[in-house]
Structure 1
């Protein structure tokens, strides 16, 4: 349920600022215990009331950490990216009774045992023993932090979203040129990238990325390169073999000849008037 996922963000997440609000917005969309939800950039901008660039930077930061993954091979009904909160899997929020009964440092008690064995304040009234101890503390129960970490390690983490087939030649060419890219684009952004490929060609995009990448540089998100490549639309390049005719510089000798011809005409008119 989304309430359990949101409770995990409130109580367990280390995200801060806009990244924390973005994580809450995604958690609010989780429909079940799998802690997966689709979320588009536009929706996240509306829910967080943050700038689009801030939301995109927050998503990239979360994907670099362990609290958010992209589910490969899946998209939302409008092509939205599908995210997973791996560390929230198995987390359950405390009920009101559990919140009142647990101490300030104890974790939520999921299986308190029969009501007859517990005092109103939540302590045991029966004999202590392996069968009568209430599971409390950070290491108790299957939903403790250690178990959640183990579950998260078992989940295959998708560090990049799947490329549409039309972008695979671009991805291969970037890899071959030594430009490392983190492909975390949504389906709509991938289509925008493909339109740039159609307009300018794979070679132009790779050449621009290679010129802006220093040797050994860390991988940059594809969203960064999408902004860089979009600048190519400002001044359309002239491709070899096109019908464009380059402008020629003015010929100084030609101007001198025209001036001499004009002076000769003026002299002829003066003689005719005299």
Structure 2
């Protein structure tokens, strides 16, 4: 239920700014089908990263005015207020609503003349016939809470549209995020994988990891899903100043130089220019692309 309430806020809510933060935090705490939960004012203030009670109250009022939040009981003493997300009640993700109960989904583009079931397709399907997609993940039901997709559910996001395998292109980012201590769920729609793969190509893994790390440090509430970073700022990252290191070099790294400004995972240093602008530069001492390491 938490997932559907959160997804409703992300995809359906008309809120902005602090009101949206309040709705996201309330949705994250929801554990009942009625979408009701008790949340204290101090919790909301921490979630919004503000010391002002007035700011939190204005955000709650703005969400109420939109009709997206109801205050069923006001907070009294130590008893927290009871909130409800009325428009999220009964909300179900589109992917869950349309998927068969077994979790298997047939390709929407399969022509009637060529589509066959799994039992018959392996022996008699013509080369042009579409078959059930064994590798497409059922993200809404079968993905584990840790966010790691089973090996038997490797996604083919984007291949039907003639685009590269987005899931494979995102794996360097997934590994770098995990090595940096940012453990989130990567359960998401195929379109989200395509968006993230495009950002990896555009901005580069080091910039995305640095943004996620800074966002996590600045946000008091726990971040559980990778889509939080996708919708919270990854899309706005500038193009990478230098192309990301070749995949072959990333597998073998020289010893870390020990410099406190050098990230031990990405081997990039954050430097400040004369105009005060900060940027990421490859470490000249321990980045895998350095000439001494290549020669070795």
Q: Rg: which structure is higher?
A: 1
TM value normalised by structure 2: 0.33
Q: Which structure ranks higher in relative contact order (CA pairs < 8 Å, sequence separation ≥ 6)? A: 1
Give the structure with the larger helix fraction: 1
TM value normalised by structure 1: 0.36
